[in-house]
């Protein structure tokens, strides 16, 4: 759903299925924004991926974490996310967070 939604708005999307693949892709590409699901494959959570991205690259690229577990929000913000969206969500929540982060607005929770 996210991929089609974002591509329909003109965004180029690189969809990856594991944290390790995301780390490799992040090193090769210069993303404008990263969207991470807490439940990644490959033995790494979304929060762990965010922490590794921030530690390894000290990146200022905005990161949105999506999770069905609202209690993950605090840990996710501590790891370095810029926005947290709880599943299930409507597309306007995600699009609003993307628009705000790409415009340079501060961290928030949706």
DSSP assignment of 78-89 equals: HHT-SEEEESS-
State the Cα–Cα distance between residues 20 and 68, nearest whole angstrom: 22
pLDDT, tens digit, 9 for 90 and up, residues 29-44? 888 899 999 998 778 9
CATH number at residue 51: 3.40.50.2300
**What total of structural domains would you count in the chain?**
1
| Contact in structure between 15 and 7 (CB atoms under 8 Å) | no
What is the value of pTM for the model shown? 0.88
| Contact in structure between 37 and 46 (CB atoms under 8 Å) | yes
> Which domain, by its residues, includes 98?
2-109
Mean pLDDT of all residues belonging to the chain? 88
Q: Strands (DSSP E) along 1-110, which ranges?
A: 34-37, 63-67, 83-86, 108-109
Q: How confident is the model at residue 107 (pLDDT cuts 50, 70, 90)?
A: low
Give the contacts of 13 (CB within 8 A, at least 6 positions apart): 2, 3, 6, 7
Start-to-end C-alpha separation, the chain: 18
């Amino acid at each position: 759903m996210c991929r089609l939604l974002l591509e329909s708005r003109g965004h180029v999307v690189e969809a990856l299925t594991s944290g390790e693949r995301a780390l490799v892709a992040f090193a090769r590409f210069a993303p404008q924004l990263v969207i991470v699901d807490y439940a990644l494959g490959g033995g790494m959570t979304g929060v762990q991926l965010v922490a590794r991205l921030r530690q390894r690259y000290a990146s200022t690229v905005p990161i949105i974490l999506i999770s069905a577990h609202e209690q993950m929000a605090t840990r996710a913000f501590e790891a370095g996310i810029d926005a947290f969206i709880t599943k299930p969500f409507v597309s306007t929540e995600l699009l609003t967070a993307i628009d705000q982060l790409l415009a340079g607005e501060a961290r928030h929770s949706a």
